[in-house]
Structures are given as C-alpha cells and as structure tokens.
C-alpha cells in the first residue's frame, strides 16, 4: 500500500532531520506513532499521524506503529482494532512494523534490574498520599523517601519478589534514584514500575507488575532504533527523564522533538472526557458524528483526504493554539465539492400542486451528476403534478430580498419549470401552511427561457411526490456551544454541551436516484449541503443521511 503524500512544507523538524542526515548522524529516518490503546483516535492524533508518517515518507524512511500498552486496566482489544482501522482509513500503512510495548516487557524488566544494580533505582513503600507529600511543589524541593537508602541487594530482592507476585497491588513501586530537589518534578525519583494485577490484552496474566509510560516509551524507541521521536508539547518536561534513562542504561539514545498539539474550537481532545461523554450517554458512542474522533468524522462523511489536507494547512509549529473548526470544515467542503455527486433532497417537505399540469402525467429531465465532472455521468429526475419543496423556500409575507416562493411570485424549479404560487392552503385550526397551488410555464422546462420571457431570480430544489424516497436525516452541529470549553475553568464541561448539536428529521425526501445509495457514500444535496449515508444505522429501504457540512460556514455569522 502506497502512502499518501503529505505536504507539510519546511518546518523546524525537517530542519533538524536535514542537519542529522547531512552530518551523518543518521543515514535514514525512522519515526513512530505510539498510541495508547485506551480510547479511539481523534483529530489531534491525525496531526501526529500525518507528521510521523509524512516525515518518514518524505525522507524515504519508515514509520512504526507501536501500541504503548502498559496499563491493562484501561486498554482493550476494541481500541487496538479501531486504531488500526482509522490509520488505514487515513491512508497510512506500517507494513511489517507493528510493535507493542508489551513485546519488550522482558527486556524492560531487565533494564529495571540493571538500574537497581547500578544504584539508580530503588523499591519504595510509600503510599500514594505519602508520595505526593514527599514530592514537594514547583517552589519547594521534595524530600527523600525513607526507603531511598535501601541497598542494592535488598532492592533487587524486593523487585524480584514484586514480579513474583508476593506483594499486594499498590503496596510497593520501583522508583528511579535521581534528585528530589530537581526543579523539574519529573526528575524527582519518578515511578518506573507498579504492582498491578490485571489481565493484559496480549500477555494475559503473565505479569503482575507493569512499567510506567515514561519508562517504556523511551526504551521502546531505543529498541526500535527510532531516529526522531516526535511528541506533542506536553512531553517537553518529560524529555529530561527520557534522556536520563537512555544515558543511565547506556543504550541507543533517540532524539525526542516536541511540536504543538492540535486544539480545535467547540470540542475537547481529552480521551478521559471523551470516554465520559460516551459512558454517560451524552453521545451515542465513540463514533457519534459529533465527536472529534476519526471514526465519528468518518461516519459523518468527512473524507480522509480532507483531514490530511487540514493537517497540512495547520502546519508544524512549537506554540499551542486553537484552530477554528471552520478551517477543518472548509477542507471537507473543498474535497466533497470535487468528489460528491449532486442530488436533490427536501428536508422539511411542503406540498406543491401544479394545477395546470396534466393529472397522471410524468416526465423526466436528464441532468449531470456533477456540473464540472462529465465522467460522473448523468441521472434522470422525474417531474409530476405533485411535488415537494422545502418549507424554508416559501414565505407568505416575504421581505424584499427574499427571492424564493411567495404568493403571486415566480421561481425556477432546479432543472425544471418556472412556477407561480397562485393559492396558499392552510390548516384551518393551526394556520400552518400545508400546500401551495401553483401553475407552471410549459415553455420553460429543463431550464429553457423562451425569448422575451422575463428571467426569475429564485431557483429552488424539489422532488416529485410520486417518486421521492423517504429518508431520515441527521443535522449535526458543534458539540460544544463555546469556542474553547477547556478554558472554562469555572464550569463543568458538560454544562457547555450544545443542546442543538443534533436535529433529527424524519419526514425528509430525496430524489429516486439515491434509492440504492451505499452506506458511507457522500452527495451534495443541492442548495443544502453535503450529506453522507450513515454507515451504521442505514438499511436497504431505510436510508439515514448525516449532514457532513453545510455549503458555507454559517456558525461564525450566527455566533457573532
């Protein structure tokens, strides 16, 4: 499988790699994408994926997929499978280079014993509360654990007994012996191993002690001969520990380089909070189309190419920032504009009867599937006496610049005839408009405008009542009602959820060409937006369409 080309452009990481290759420090480039299998990938991960795989591809190197599976309490096979599915959907392939931190458990344990034998690690019996107390603060140094002075023989014996399962969970940990007065809290004798009896997805119950992420990560990089270990900025303060461990163990030392993580408006990127949204039923699952997960975006109809383009456009920098959701949606629009066939759909049907059109008669208009791509072919649209238009395209008392249908007004039916509204039928009790009775100009079919005929300004979409296909439509909007929910420290983030993030329309209709639309396929509903057939809820004869994105960004205008 060939890798997609990622145009990241010149950036500080490429400058480092260029220098390393020119100096002979490295002869090739090996990166890695190291997800923890404790949740689904989100759009922030997509940036890391594009950087790691894209950089390796640019230099004709390779990128490893490595699961940092060091916490079996939170890890599941479901997440492992989902991560691989998302990576392949984005277009990336790791070939034979799939690894797991658990592949190295025996080697990592050997490293732990080596640190003990060098006097650089010790077994500590402090409980979590005591350890926090001894750790100190950003302005005050920590205090040495009373167990820090244990000798090498005792520490080695205790570590081996920890592995053998002699001690209760949480009763002891292995800590690095570095400096409890270090300004960087990550160097204040960090935990390397903890006792944890939990069944691991790959190693089962073979282990009852597990390495911490900070210990497993750098050493796994070393074992795989990673040349450039690319991380987001929150790992910058962890780099001194990464370096210390490699040097203390006297093993190959990869270079860790940090870049700015991706933050997107009106959503959150914390896997812990995303899991809470799933578990508390605020969303329907990890693949809910409102979620920032790749599976949610795929289900919503975001093309993989659009996400890659988005990652290219935001670039690679060193300063955290919040990117407007509209930037991602613009990339989706651009991609779908070129690849999505056109169709007509009516979301809120309003009946139209063409009173001067023959009863029982129907005709067809042949129209292109895409106005700029003849290769997509053509489709036929039936026209009959009874039609449906969108209720939003009619106003009983329209303002001056409303160019759609109103009493006595004319509009062009897209690809069809010019019609005039002659009569408005209402529900006698509620006063709701239930039907429009119109007349058509039979000389204007198929978009024709006879000589001398006045051109109308309004063009609206429609479907033939007798031929329309009933569908359900999900209209999705921003998950949160504020631009940066993570910054709202005074409120629970759940209070910021957008109550209007989902509207379900059960009476929608689409043209008959979509009757056999395949789950996952996308279309532009003319004048309405881009819609995708739901890959989960759609069934033959019971189609569900998800609105991927509107035709233009209406959020910025409505929120100002």
Residues involved in catalysis: 36, 261, 271
Q: What angle do CA 353, 357, 358 make, to 5 degrees?
A: 115
Strand 462-464 and strand 386-390: the pairing is antiparallel
Task: Round to whole Å and give the CA distance between 91 and 77.
Answer: 22
Both tokens of residue 420? 């005039």
Beta strands in 442-539 (DSSP E): 459-460, 462-464, 469-476, 502-510, 522-525, 529-533
Residue 288: in which H helix or E strand, if any?
none
Taking the C-alpha atoms of 514, 517, 519 and 521 in order, what is their torsion angle to the nearest 10 degrees? Answer: -80
d(CA 472, CA 508): 6
C-alpha gyration radius of the chain: 30
DSSP secondary structure of 512-527 = GGGTTPPTT-EEEETT
Retrieve residue 536's tokens: 């989960």
Q: What is the enclosing helix (H) or strand (E) of 330?
A: helix 325-339
Fill in the DSSP letter of residue 139: S
Q: Which among 551, 530, 548, 524 has a CA at the least distance from the CA of 372?
A: 524
Distance in angstroms (rounded) separating the CA atoms of residues 535 and 521: 9
The tokens describing 349, both together, are: 């049907």
Are the beta carbons of 66 and 49 closer than 8 angstroms?
no
Residue 40: how many CA atoms within 13 Å on its side-chain side? 24
Cβ(153)–Cβ(132) below 8 Å: no
33 alpha-carbon distance from chain centroid: 16
Beta bridge partners of 539: 542
Cα separation, 243 vs 186, in Å, equals: 12
Judged by DSSP in three states, 64 sits in strand
Q: Are 71 and 183 in contact (CB under 8 A)?
A: no
Helices 77-90 and 304-314: crossing angle, nearest 10°? 80
| 397: enclosing H helix or E strand | none
């Amino acid at each position: 499988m060939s890798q997609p080309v990622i145009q990241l452009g010149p950036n500080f990481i490429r400058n480092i790699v260029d220098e390393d290759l020119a100096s002979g420090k490295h002869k090739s480039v090996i990166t890695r994408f190291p997800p923890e299998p404790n949740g689904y990938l989100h759009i922030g991960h997509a940036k890391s994926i594009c950087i790691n795989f894209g950089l390796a591809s640019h230099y004709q190197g390779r990128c490893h997929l490595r699961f940092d599976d060091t916490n079996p309490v939170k890890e599941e096979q479901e997440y492992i499978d989902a991560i691989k599915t998302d990576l392949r959907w984005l277009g990336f392939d790791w070939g034979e280079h799939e690894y797991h931190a658990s592949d190295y458990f025996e080697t990592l344990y050997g490293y732990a014993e080596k640190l003990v034998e060098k006097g650089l690690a010790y077994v500590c019996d402090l409980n979590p509360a005591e350890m926090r107390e001894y750790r100190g603060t950003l302005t005050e140094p920590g205090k040495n654990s009373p167990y820090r002075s244990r000798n090498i023989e005792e520490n080695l014996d205790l570590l081996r007994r920890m592995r053998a399962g002699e001690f209760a969970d949480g009763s002891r940990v292995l800590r690095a012996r570095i400096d409890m007065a270090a300004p960087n809290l990550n160097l204040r004798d960090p935990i390397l191993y903890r006792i944890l009896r939990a069944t691991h997805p790959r190693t089962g119950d073979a282990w009852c002690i597990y390495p911490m992420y900070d210990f497993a990560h750098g050493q796994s990089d070393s074992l795989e001969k990673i040349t450039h270990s690319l991380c987001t900025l929150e790992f910058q303060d962890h780099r001194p520990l990464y370096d210390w461990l490699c040097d203390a163990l006297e093993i190959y030392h990869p270079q860790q380089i940090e870049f700015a993580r991706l933050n997107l408006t009106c959503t959150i990127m914390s896997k812990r909070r995303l899991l809470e949204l799933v578990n508390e039923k605020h969303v329907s699952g990890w693949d809910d189309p409102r979620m920032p997960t790749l599976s949610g975006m795929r289900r919503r109809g975001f093309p993989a190419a659009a996400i890659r383009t988005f990652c290219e456009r935001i670039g690679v920098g060193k300063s955290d920032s919040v990117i407007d959701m509209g930037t991602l949606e613009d990339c989706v629009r651009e991609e779908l504009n070129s690849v999505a066939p056109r169709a007509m759909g009516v979301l809120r049907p309003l009946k139209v009867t063409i009173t001067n059109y023959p009863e029982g008669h129907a005709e067809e208009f042949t129209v292109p599937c895409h106005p700029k791509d003849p290769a997509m072919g053509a489709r036929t649209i039936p026209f009959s006496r009874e039609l449906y238009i969108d209720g939003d395209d009619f106003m009983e008392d329209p303002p001056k610049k409303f160019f759609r249908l109103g009493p006595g007004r004319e509009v062009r039916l897209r690809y069809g005839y010019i019609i005039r509204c002659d009569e408005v039928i209402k529900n006698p009790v509620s006063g709701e408009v239930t039907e429009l009775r119109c007349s058509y100009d039979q000389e204007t079919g198929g978009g024709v405008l006879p000589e001398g005929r006045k051109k109308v300004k309004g063009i609206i979409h429609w479907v033939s009542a007798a031929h329309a296909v009933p569908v359900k439509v999900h209209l999705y909007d921003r998950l949160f009602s504020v631009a940066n929910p993570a910054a709202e420290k005074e409120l629970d983030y759940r209070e910021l959820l957008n109550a209007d993030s989902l509207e379900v329309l059960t009476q929608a209709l689409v043209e008959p060409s979509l009757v056999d639309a395949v789950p996952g396929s996308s279309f532009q509903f003319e004048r309405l937006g881009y819609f995708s057939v739901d890959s989960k809820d759609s069934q033959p004869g019971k189609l569900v369409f998800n609105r991927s994105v509107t035709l233009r960004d209406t959020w910025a205008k409505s929120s100002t």
